[in-house]
Amino acid sequence: MNHKKLQTLSLIPIVVISLFYLTYLIKWEPIIVGVFRELLLLPSILTQLVISGYFLFKIFKKESKINAYILLNFLFTFLLILSFNI
Domain ranges (residues) in the chain: 3-84
| Closest of 41, 57, 55 to residue 9, by C-alpha | 55
| Closest of 8, 4, 86, 84 to residue 42, by C-alpha | 84
- How confident is the model over 66-83, as a mean pLDDT? 90
Name the packing angle between helices 68-84 and 31-60 (round to 10°).
120
> What global pTM score does this model have?
0.82
Ramachandran sector of residue 44 (left: φ over 0; alpha: ψ -120 to 50; beta: rest)? alpha
pLDDT > 70? residue 86: no
- Return the pLDDT at 34: 87
Question: Measured between alpha carbons, how far is 37 from 21 in angstroms, rounded to an integer?
Answer: 10
Give the model confidence (pLDDT) of 14-70 as tens digits: 999 999 889 989 988 889 888 988 899 999 999 999 999 999 999 999 888 888 888
Give the model confidence (pLDDT) of 2-16 as tens digits: 777 888 888 999 999
